[in-house]
Amino acid sequence: MHAARNIALCTKDCLCLFICPTGATDTENGQIDFAKCLDGCRLCVDACPSHALYLVFDRYPVKPDKDVAVVSALDNLLESKAKQELIGAALAHEGNGGAKLAKAIAHSDRVLAEDCAREARYMLPQSNQTRKLLTELLGRRGDPGFPVEAIEQLLELLH
């Protein structure tokens, strides 16, 4: 569990620099040096006057299983949104009137599809359902250009 900084909230009062025992809060890129940050220390989180620091967890709880019928209905909606995104993208590529509107609709449909995916069991990258999907996708390793190494790395990094 390490600290992270929301740069949009940071008011540069720099109390985190005073309190941090390792210097992890003082960096040239504005973010905490995660490697230096002490596990669960949270001194900077409590010291920050603008609530710009928060804790990022290393482990996340196992979620209760989703109802099969809810997931099935959300999967259908996810497919519909994905299809609309593709239609929007095709219309945007045609370059005639309404191309910009089509682009906005495609973008919006991606956000809607992502929300369906989140509620239909793919909320956490570390979840069993995500791992199950990644493992199934390994079966496509023969497809041309399929990024199988990306999946292998994800399965190794996420748990």
Q: Which of residues 73-132 bind another protein (CB under 8 A)?
A: 73-88, 90-91, 97-98, 100-105, 107-125, 129-130
Residue (23 or 147) nearer to another protein, CB: 147
Residue (14 or 90) nearer to another protein, CB: 90
Upper half-sphere CA count for residue 52 (Cβ side, 13 Å): 19
Q: Which helix (H) or strand (E) holds 72?
A: helix 68-93
What single string gives the DSSP state of each residue in 112-136?
A: HHHHHHHHTT-S-TTSHHHHHHHHH
- d(CA 3, CA 78) in angstroms, rounded, equals 34
Which positions ≥6 away from 3 have C-beta within 8 Å? 24, 25, 32, 37, 41, 42, 44, 45, 53, 54, 55, 56
Per-residue mark of binding to another protein, 41-70 (x: CB under 8 A)? ---------------xx-------xxxxxx
User: Contact 71/125 with Cβ under 8 angstroms?
Assistant: no
- d(CA 82, CA 111) in angstroms, rounded, equals 10
Residues in binding contact with another protein, number by CB under 8 A? 72
Residue (18 or 140) nearer to another protein, CB: 140
Chain centroid, CA 10 distance in Å: 22
**Piece of 18-26, 45-53, 149-157 that binds another protein (CB under 8 A):** 149-157
Residue (11 or 76) nearer to another protein, CB: 76
- Judged by CB under 8 A, the residue of 71, 139, 141, 159 near another protein is 71
CB of 43 to another protein, least distance (A): 18
CB of 67 to another protein, least distance (A): 4
Residue (43 or 126) nearer to another protein, CB: 126
